[in-house]
Amino acid sequence: MSSLLRSTAVLMLAVLFGNCHAGFPDKPINIIVPYAAGGPMDKLARQLAPQMSSLLGQPVIVQNQGGAGGNIGVAMAKRAAPDGYTLLLDHVHMATAPSLYRKLDFAPAIDFEPLGVVAESPLILISRTDVPNVFADLLRWMARQPQVTLANAGIGSASHLCGLLLQSSLKLRMTTVPYKGTGPAMIDLMSGQVDLMCDLTANALPQIQAGKVRPIAVTVREPMSGTPLEAVPSMEKLGIAQGPLTIWYGLYAPRGTPTPVIQQLSAALTTVTNSAAFRKQQMDSGLNPVNDWRLTPAGHRKYLHEEINRWAGPIKAAGEYAD
């Protein structure tokens, strides 16, 4: 962002909110990332932080607090003072945790103030190379097998969640094979030890391009134009009525954070997310920056409620819990 644009954005924020909550911010702001450093969410946070810092006029520091599948960091953010100086960046885990965990130290829909959904990543259903990738042929092939194996990267992972919805939509139970991470699952898929797997498009693309796995369907409605996956059909087009599925990332403040502070933080988040530099960073990372109704506190809250309800049924039907 140029110095002129940055100055203009700071001025706009001051005009809009300067009289709402005097003095905020007057010290550094922490963004808790409830996972270890180096992953996709950590990268997103470290791209978001400096641009928000430029707008807010204070350092924005990323604090990694992993453990318990993200729950430790989320609980830490919940307990933080509701003053706008501690924020939380988390993904679809905020919607799935209430169903995946029978004991939880936080309630995402109650304990947090949503600020906006920032970015999302589609997923793709892939198979080993000798499985039919034409969907009608795949269904016939599946019907003939004594069992169909569906790999995932562990309970609560993107691949696990996608697999739950796939089985629920097809009304078909597969033999799920959990792994400790995407890497080992992908290795076994490529070697033919398992049949199918869902994965983030960014993760699967290199193996698809190398011809080591076959793409079957993506989990978004629109073709992925301008990417090597633009010819891959959507699950919806194939009649899999699960609706769009993405791993989405949102920013939160603790419950009780003053409304003027929420508005100020949301305005900064919207400015950053709509900037050309940030959008390019996300697209280069395989993420789609969000620029719709979800990029507002009210829209994010509505979407969070919808996603919590969406995941409750499949997770309960599977009877697979993370604790």
Q: Which residue, 71, 142, 134, is CA-closest to 106?
A: 71
State the burial class of residue 146 (Cβ atoms within 10 Å of its Cβ: 0-12, 13-18, 19+): exposed
Measured CA to CA in angstroms, residue 314 lies from 29, 45, 165, 319 at distances of 37, 30, 6, 9
Higher pLDDT, 149 or 231: 149
Position 227 confidence tier, pLDDT thresholds 50, 70, 90: confident
Q: Residue 243: left if φ>0, alpha if ψ -120 to 50, beta else—which one?
A: left
37-41, 226-230, 245-249, 286-290: least confidently modelled range: 226-230
Q: What is the token pair recorded at 259? A: 């409304």
Q: Where do the structural domains in the chain lie, given as residue ranges?
A: 3-121+246-318, 122-218
Residue 42 in this model has a pLDDT that exceeds 90: yes
pLDDT digits (tens, 9 = 90+) for 44-86: 999 999 999 999 999 999 999 999 989 999 999 999 999 999 9
Phi, psi of 257, rounded to the nearest 5 degrees: -60, 130
φ, ψ dihedrals at 3, nearest 5°: -65, -35
pLDDT band at 318 (very low <50, low <70, confident <90, very high): confident
Taking 70 as the threshold, does the pLDDT of residue 19 lie above it? no
Q: Is 3-121+246-318's fold the same as 122-218's? A: yes
What does the angle CA 146 – CA 147 – CA 152 come to, to the nearest 5 degrees?
170
Structure-token pair, residue 63: 């604090």
Cβ pair 89, 48 in contact under 8 A: yes
Q: What pLDDT band is residue 307 in, cutting at 50, 70 and 90?
A: very high
Buried b or exposed e, range 79-115, using 16+ CB within 10 angstroms: ebebbbbbbbbbbbbbbbbbbbbeebebebbebbbbb
Tell me the mean pLDDT in the region 254-273.
98
* Count of CA atoms in the C-beta half-sphere (13 A) of 33: 21
pLDDT digits (tens, 9 = 90+) for 157-178: 889 988 888 888 888 889 999 9
More confident residue, 242 or 58: 58
Q: Output the pTM of the full model.
A: 0.83
Give the three-class secondary structure for 93. helix
Fold held by 122-218: D-Maltodextrin-Binding Protein; domain 2 (3.40.190)
Residue 299 is predicted with a pLDDT of 98
Q: Is the pLDDT of residue 3 over 70?
A: no
Structure confidence by residue, pLDDT tens digits, 196-214: 999 988 788 889 999 999 9
The first and second tokens of residue 322, run together, are 């993370």
| DSSP bridge pairs for 89 | 251
Asked whether residue 111 carries a pLDDT value surpassing 70, the answer given is yes
Query: What's the chain's Rg over C-alpha atoms?
Result: 21
Which superfamily does 3-121+246-318 belong to?
Answer: Bordetella uptake gene, domain 1 (3.40.190.150)
Residue 1, pLDDT above cutoff 80? no
Average pLDDT over residues 40-44: 90
